[in-house]
Amino acid sequence: MIEIRPFESLGKADHGWLEANFHFSFAEYQDHRRLNWGKLRVWNDDIIAPHSGFPPHPHQDMEIITYVRKGAISHKDSLGNEGRTVAGDVQVMTAGTGIMHAEYNLEDEELHSFQLWILSDRKGHKPSWGTRTFPKEDRSDQFVVLASGREGDEDALPIHTDGRVLGATVKAGESVTYDLGGRKGYLVPASGRVEVEGEEANARDGVAIADVDVLTVKALEDAELVLVDTA
């Protein structure tokens, strides 16, 4: 089962400094058909104006993954962590028993990011935060695990859930495959037009996937892909 969710159909919010696009019900956007996809609860496509951002706010019992598409995000939290994550790289926060954090665009250009929330496997994890560099050339024509709760994925940022966040870059005319094994997948091209099991998707469209063993994605244009594999 492949369901294309065009970017134009996503929930929208414009706060001036923040242009938000919601793949799933979030804040004032509510759609009972788009509450979650497996344990994936939130996929927000955000554009944040220069020198603005989210002031300190709390989270609990959620794995929060931020994929930076353009610019850089600066993080600060109640554990004393501070860091800056740039385009193509990833930060992960386990909210666990509770954490306060702030996220700002301190740069002179817009910040474009995907923020994903995945349900933790249980309540009560110790809160944590981390960031890591993932060179795009290492993802050429293959999916690379960026964040994972699975054994054997030691090179990925750790999350407390039975799932993975993966990235790939694909040249026009080339294809990448991934063994979903019948689990749920949710794919978003950060850029480029692709064909997913015969269905076309444009940049920033959502592709909800179920009951597919081996997923094949063909790039119709040079493409940058982000995929969640979830129970």
The 10s digit of each residue's pLDDT in 9-29 is: 999 999 999 999 999 999 999
Q: Are 160 and 195 in contact (CB under 8 A)?
A: no
| Overall pTM surpassing 0.95 (yes/no) | yes
| Mean pLDDT along residues 184-191 | 98
pLDDT at position 40 is 98
What pLDDT digit, counting tens, does each position of 106-164 carry?
999 999 999 999 999 999 999 999 999 999 889 999 999 999 999 999 999 999 999 99
Sign of CA dihedral 218, 220, 226, 231: negative
Q: What percent of the chain has pLDDT over 90?
A: 98
Find all residues with CB under 8 Å of 76, minimum gap 6, and list them.
56, 82, 101, 102
What pLDDT digit, counting tens, does each position of 55-80 carry?
999 999 999 999 999 999 999 999 99
pLDDT at position 136 is 87
2-230 homologous superfamily: Jelly Rolls (2.60.120.10)
Average pLDDT, the chain: 97
Cα 199-203-207 angle, rounded to 5 deg? 45
Find all residues with CB under 8 Å of 195, minimum gap 6, and list them.
201, 217, 218, 220
d(CA 15, CA 151): 41
Structure-token pair, residue 27: 């804040």
| Mean pLDDT along residues 97-102 | 98
| Mean pLDDT along residues 41-45 | 98
d(CA 145, CA 22): 24
Phi, psi of 69 (to 5 degrees): -95, -35
pLDDT at position 214 is 97
